[in-house]
Chains A and B, each alone.
Chain A
Amino acid sequence: MPFIPHTEAEIQAMLEVIGVTDIEQLFDEIPAQLRSGELEGIPETASEMQVAREVQAFAEQDSGALNFIGAGAYEHHIPAAVWQLVSRGEFYSAYTPYQAEASQGTLQVIYEYQSMMTGLTGMDVSNASLYDGASSLAEAVLMAVRANRKSKSKKILMPTSVHPAYRATTDAIVRNQKIELVEVAVDPQSGRVDPATLSQWDGEDIAALVIPQPNFFGVLEEVDALTDWAEKNAVLSIAVVNPLTLGLLKSPGEWGNGGVDIVCGDGQPLGAPLSSGGPYYGLLCCKQKHVRQMPGRIVGRTIDADDKPGFVLTLQAREQHIRRSKATSNICTNQGLVVTASTIHMALLGPKGLKEVASHCYANTHQLTDKLKPMGATPLFSGEYFHEVVFDLKQPAEPVLEKMADQGVLGGYALGRDFPELKNAILVCATETKTENDLQQFVDALKRAKN
């Protein structure tokens, strides 16, 4: 019996203790008319060897392409040590650290994660993670509405340069609480929000402004001006960041005069494989004054009965298992194992490694732009960009990408799917994993596909 250790003799002995003659009797409280357990649609039991063979065939079917798609999920080198350590049973098969004395491993990892993430973002406090970047934005919006006591409007300014799936997710999660997401248009020349456009909301009752950096088009926003506008108008500011870029880019804690209020984003670029979209994790950091509005678990350091330092879950009075209907969120489980991977990943990179990786991502994407210039494929937007760039192909993008895929090159993301006016445009990302030869393959594949 797969994964069940009982011998026939043991089963009999156990039934005897219980005082029944067979296992079936243990289900006698289920009304007979509900009993319908037949599972004809489930395949028969397969051995590990059989399943492995099938799954390997599926995996091979999807392998082998050279990937230049980013759009919220980024290919990076992950040190071998990361997932080998994470796959240790003591991390992999533990539960939420409810018994702190027997969970110091997990708790200390989270404390170290919180320390690293607050350092990276320049914020005071980090939680232990949320599900992913998109849902972290939704939670950041809910948090801002609670935290901005001066605002009654429940209005959020949401630039269209924020990842479309993040906007859709946020809408799905906050809609029923009567929160309104007000679109802020992007300047079509620069590909970012012109800070002057915010003046139309000067003095209005707005709960928060969302500021992506880099934005969905890879373009860098004028974060200082946007943050300062928010502060001046008693609007809370929410940064949506790719944490990997913070090896080079100014941290949200340093934007404008006083830094942002809340930072969210997806931690995937720091140690999580692409894995078809998950599991990743959502990061959430804030200023100290907002800590009691923060959703999710938080670990704190304290002392034990012998005055020895150690770690516990703290501020639990915010959470659903204590506060029930008055909790800050319904979140319970987070993305613990991926956060463990990310903490180890950050420890291995260190400040130098993070800066080097971020720099190479930047450099490779800019080098690709240079290589494409002779073909007449130039960046659509004039704004400075980081490691993703939009090219105008001057012909419908989807068929070109299909032809590139036929040559084994995933050439980018077709922006027409979310922005009908950009149907000729692709969003391309070249991370540190790409070599000179890889970039040339992209150029050659694009040339052939365009003709």
Chain B
Amino acid sequence: MVIFEHSKTGRAATAQMPQDSVKIDLPARFLRESDVGLPELSEMQVVRHYTQLSQKNFSIDTQFYPLGSCTMKYNPRACNSLAMLPGLVDRHPLAPDKYSQGFLQIMYELQEMLMEVTGMQAVSLSPMAGAQGEFAGVAMIRAYHDTQGDAARTEILVPDAAHGTNPATAIMCGYKVREIPTDDQGDVDMTALREAVGPQTAGIMLTNPSTLGVFERKVAEIAGIIHEAGGLLYYDGANLNAILGKVKPGDMGFDVIHMNLHKTFSTPHGGGGPGSGAIGVSGRLLPFRPIPVVEKTGERYHWLTEKELPQSIGRLSAFAGNAGVLLRAYVYMRMLGREGMHRVADFATLNANYLMKRLEQAGFELAFPERRATHEFIVTLKKQAKDYGVTAKDFAKRLLDFNFHAPTTYFPLLVPECLLIEPTETESKEELDGFVEAMICILSEAGNDPEKVTGAPWTQPNRRFDEVKAARELDLKWTSGE
């Protein structure tokens, strides 16, 4: 049932509204006559409905969630409770200095910590998601070339394994996209790269470790080629979890990076956001950072805006980005501390390599068997698809019946029937072993009883959906009379 079906005319959660009546003195032309379209409910009905809905979700708090490239690690509860402290949660974004020093100091320290882990010269916290961080990064690359009077640079290079946000971002920044192929070991095809680079190259967008779950070994050489041609390097921080405390994007030669604080620094994914896509820059992009940025002068913390950063690419949100998400990242980073941060990459990598090895031993084909896993790796089910007609999607759906969330499927696009598996560092060996057992069981079902897999899931609130119907006969809102 949708919430509207619980509605009864005349019912209301009256404890949640002002009690006295007031007079409105506005001309009729401004006023609403139509129904506002909200349901009429008691407070308990609302609580019960949404509690029951929550129980129809898989989540990290309830299931292993090895969704590749999404870093579904445990979200410590203290991050939430501290970010919701009255002084922080009630603070107005335009509160004066006197009521801002606590918040600004936290933001300043967060900037400093992110600079340290990435090796960048400065950080701006305002981008509100990874894709907005990407936008900020490419817009800065553009601002840099424009400032040099270099209008010939019209192209951004993007490896074919990249996230879809990369090419979409380049287009939003007014660039053309040129795709660079990947070689059979998962590295960027250097011959193709050399051919593609030229005076038209504004920059390259690179994820490292790449979305193929391997470390891009020639990254220093790539940086040399791009820089020599006058282009800049953009680092997509989606996979930063794999290298935290091991290697810094700044040392790999990147000019600008974004970090997904909702991945590496464990802020919640919230069913699809809010995220946070803080960016870091090298020296040459310092003047172009998006505003606002926190600065410390003497003992006072304050914002830098367009007055201090006149060459900034500008503002990306009404205030200063997803501040509450930033607070959660700060608490997490402080609890990890220096030692804990090194361990993130250690154990994310240990878990991924262990899981990869066990699945290989169980008869699954790896996309890159010669390579180490980073924090994630790819299994290809092309053989099972050919032999039994059981696809990656079928495996994904059947895993739900075993109470495991599915890995990422059909991404990256260049590996057929792929599962991109990222266990993260917070999962125990028992959990990983349980996942392997489930995969072995499904593999056996695929041979003996394929309908059990192709018809899955069987245990969820719904079976598989008719997605064609969803797109053809659009039903995007509830209407009364249904």
Our verdict on whether A and B bind, yes or no, reads yes
Interface membership of B452, Cβ < 8 A? no
Q: Which of B390-409 contact A (CB under 8 A)?
A: 396-397, 400, 405-406, 408
Whole-angstrom CA separation of A37 from B405 in the bound complex: 32
Is B82's CB under 8 angstroms from A125's CB? no
Is A55's CB under 8 angstroms from B54's CB? no
Interface membership of A196, Cβ < 8 A? no
Q: Out of A87, A279, A336, A349, which one reaches B17, CB within 8 Å?
A: A349
Interface membership of A277, Cβ < 8 A? yes
CB of B482, distance to nearest CB on chain A (Å) = 10
Is B317's CB under 8 angstroms from A132's CB? yes
Whole-angstrom CA separation of A90 from B243 in the bound complex: 29
Interface membership of A421, Cβ < 8 A? no
Is B43's CB under 8 angstroms from A322's CB? no
Whole-angstrom CA separation of A334 from B306 in the bound complex: 27
Q: Out of B88, B343, B470, which one reaches A302, CB within 8 Å?
A: B470
With A31-B219, A248-B26, A321-B165 already in contact, 20 other A-B pairs whose C-beta atoms are closer than 8 Å: A17-B354, A30-B243, A36-B248, A40-B338, A43-B337, A48-B76, A58-B87, A62-B101, A63-B99, A85-B50, A96-B273, A106-B272, A114-B476, A119-B38, A171-B314, A173-B316, A273-B324, A336-B272, A338-B270, A351-B35
Given A42-B341, A176-B173, A357-B18, decide whether A220 and B26 contact each other with a Cβ distance below 8 A.
yes
Residue-wise, chain B 468-482 has the 8 Å CB interface mask toward A (1 for contact) of 011101111110000
Is B35's CB under 8 angstroms from A27's CB? no
Given A48-B78, A104-B56, A320-B165, decide whether A325 and B170 contact each other with a Cβ distance below 8 A.
yes
Interface membership of B59, Cβ < 8 A? yes
Q: Out of A62, A77, A248, A291, which one reaches B88, CB within 8 Å?
A: A62
Q: Out of B91, B131, B174, which one reaches A276, CB within 8 Å?
A: B91
Interface membership of B90, Cβ < 8 A? yes
Q: Which of A63-107 contact B (CB under 8 A)?
A: 63-65, 67, 69, 71-73, 75, 77, 79, 81, 83, 85, 87-106
Given A39-B338, A48-B335, A81-B46, decide whether A134 and B17 contact each other with a Cβ distance below 8 A.
no
Is B467's CB under 8 angstroms from A312's CB? yes
Interface membership of A168, Cβ < 8 A? yes
Is B466's CB under 8 angstroms from A92's CB? no
Interface membership of B358, Cβ < 8 A? yes
Given A99-B406, A337-B274, decide whether A405 and B470 contact each other with a Cβ distance below 8 A.
no
Interface membership of A128, Cβ < 8 A? yes
Is A276's CB under 8 angstroms from B61's CB? no
Q: Which chain B positions have C-beta within 8 A of A54?
A: 334
Q: Which residue of B lies closest to A85 (CB)?
A: B50
Contact stretch, chosen from A1-9, A180-188, A204-212, A437-445: A1-9
Is B76's CB under 8 angstroms from A3's CB? yes
Given A34-B219, A89-B59, decide whether A102 and B425 contact each other with a Cβ distance below 8 A.
no
Interface membership of B315, Cβ < 8 A? yes
Interface membership of B159, Cβ < 8 A? no
Q: List 21 A-B contacts (CB under 8 A).
A: A26-B350, A28-B372, A71-B94, A97-B271, A97-B272, A106-B272, A114-B476, A168-B306, A176-B142, A176-B172, A273-B90, A299-B476, A302-B466, A302-B475, A304-B464, A321-B165, A333-B131, A335-B273, A343-B50, A362-B22, A402-B96
Contact stretch, chosen from A143-151, A152-160, A228-236, A249-257: A249-257
Q: Which chain B positions have C-beta within 8 A of A33?
A: 220
Interface membership of A242, Cβ < 8 A? no
Whole-angstrom CA separation of A177 from B397 in the bound complex: 41
Residue-wise, chain B 20-51 has the 8 Å CB interface mask toward A (1 for contact) of 00111111011111111111110100110111
CB of A46, distance to nearest CB on chain B (Å) = 5
CB of B273, distance to nearest CB on chain A (Å) = 4
Is B116's CB under 8 angstroms from A42's CB? yes
Whole-angstrom CA separation of A168 from B248 in the bound complex: 33
Interface membership of A375, Cβ < 8 A? no
Whole-angstrom CA separation of A264 from B247 in the bound complex: 42
Number of interface residues of A (CB under 8 A): 199
Given A44-B337, A248-B24, decide whether A91 and B319 contact each other with a Cβ distance below 8 A.
no
Whole-angstrom CA separation of A250 from B402 in the bound complex: 51
Given A91-B59, A402-B96, decide whether A109 and B271 contact each other with a Cβ distance below 8 A.
yes
CB of B269, distance to nearest CB on chain A (Å) = 4
Is B164's CB under 8 angstroms from A13's CB? no
Interface membership of B257, Cβ < 8 A? no
Q: Out of B11, B15, B75, B251, which one reaches A36, CB within 8 Å?
A: B251
Whole-angstrom CA separation of A57 from B82 in the bound complex: 11
Whole-angstrom CA separation of A44 from B342 in the bound complex: 12
CB of B94, distance to nearest CB on chain A (Å) = 5
Residue-wise, chain A 236-269 has the 8 Å CB interface mask toward B (1 for contact) of 0000000000111111001000000000001000
Interface membership of A61, Cβ < 8 A? yes
Kindly list the 9 A-B residue pairs having the minimum CB-CB distance in the complex, ordered from nearest.
Answer: A119-B37, A89-B61, A277-B319, A337-B270, A172-B314, A45-B337, A59-B87, A277-B93, A58-B102
Interface membership of B411, Cβ < 8 A? yes
Q: Which residue of A lies closest to B61 (CB)?
A: A89
Q: Which chain A positions have C-beta within 8 A of B219?
A: 31, 34
Q: Which chain A positions have C-beta within 8 A of B170?
A: 325
Interface membership of B340, Cβ < 8 A? yes
Is B465's CB under 8 angstroms from A59's CB? no
Is A69's CB under 8 angstroms from B95's CB? yes
Q: Which of B303-325 contact A (CB under 8 A)?
A: 306, 313-325
Q: Which chain A positions have C-beta within 8 A of B129?
A: 131, 331-334
Whole-angstrom CA separation of A20 from B349 in the bound complex: 13
Is B470's CB under 8 angstroms from A300's CB? yes
Is A112's CB under 8 angstroms from B177's CB? no
Whole-angstrom CA separation of A299 from B475 in the bound complex: 9
Is A51's CB under 8 angstroms from B335's CB? yes
Q: Out of A45, A278, A298, which one reaches B476, CB within 8 Å?
A: A298
Is A165's CB under 8 angstroms from B318's CB? yes
Q: Which of A331-353 contact B (CB under 8 A)?
A: 331-338, 340, 343-344, 346-353
Is A11's CB under 8 angstroms from B350's CB? yes
Q: Out of B32, B319, B371, which one reaches A29, CB within 8 Å?
A: B371
Q: Which chain A positions have C-beta within 8 A of B173?
A: 176
Whole-angstrom CA separation of A331 from B165 in the bound complex: 7
